[in-house]
Amino acid sequence: MSAPASPEALRVAVFASGRGSNLQALHQAASSGELPIQIVGVFSDKADSGAIAYADAQHIACAHLDPKSFATREDFDVALMQKAAAVCPELIVCAGFMRIISESGIHAAPCPMINIHPSLLPKYPGLHTHARALAAGDGEHGASVHRVESVLDGGRILSQAKIAVLPDDSPEHLAERVLAIEHPLLIATVRAIADGRISLHDGADTRVSWLNHRLELE
């Protein structure tokens, strides 16, 4: 069960489609007092997602919306944002949310949104990032947290964590190693937002070199 949040805790909603490992990392960091946030809602496009199961087990408000129940992608996105708005979040974290949010959805969002993506953006937006990095012969790979904007994985980069690509890496092995750095990267970035060290306001310089340096993992 979630620990009581302080009045100053940043209210965070999470969008997720899969097993919810980043959600779990955020929730556990918040419950331990490491992260000054309160997860106020979890929302998914998949009824059987691990994220929904975890939220339900932890007594976190959660909801599933079936995209097939909506006439258009835009209708789904707006309905999703309305669900999220009901829990009054100050930040939405897309953590393994496997849908492209339309411009209508972005405009309907009740607060800023961030996303964690498994590549060193601007390299490899979209899918199959690990295989693409290997095919290109990259010497390093990693993960990025960026603000969700109208261009796919093209919003302003907030932070990155890097690992070396190993000679025997397969896409699956590389994916596992990147996932291991995604969790501390996301926690550190959300903490910096909650502490005011990263601003998500339009026009702000959201790159933070100290965070990039701290999370360059070998």
Catalytic residues: 117
d(CA 40, CA 54): 13
The sign of the dihedral angle between the CA atoms of 114, 116, 120, 122 is negative
Cα torsion through 158, 136, 214, 152, rounded to 10: 10
Which 3 state secondary structure label does DSSP give 141?
strand
Strand order in the sheet with 37-44: 62-64, 37-44, 10-15, 91-94, 113-117, 140-147, 157-164
Angle (CA) 64-111-80 rounded to 5° is 20
What's the N-to-C CA distance of the chain in angstroms? 34
d(CA 123, CA 91): 25
**Please, are residues 39 and 12 in contact by the beta-carbon 8 Å criterion?**
yes
> Residue 44 is encoded by which pair of tokens?
């998914």
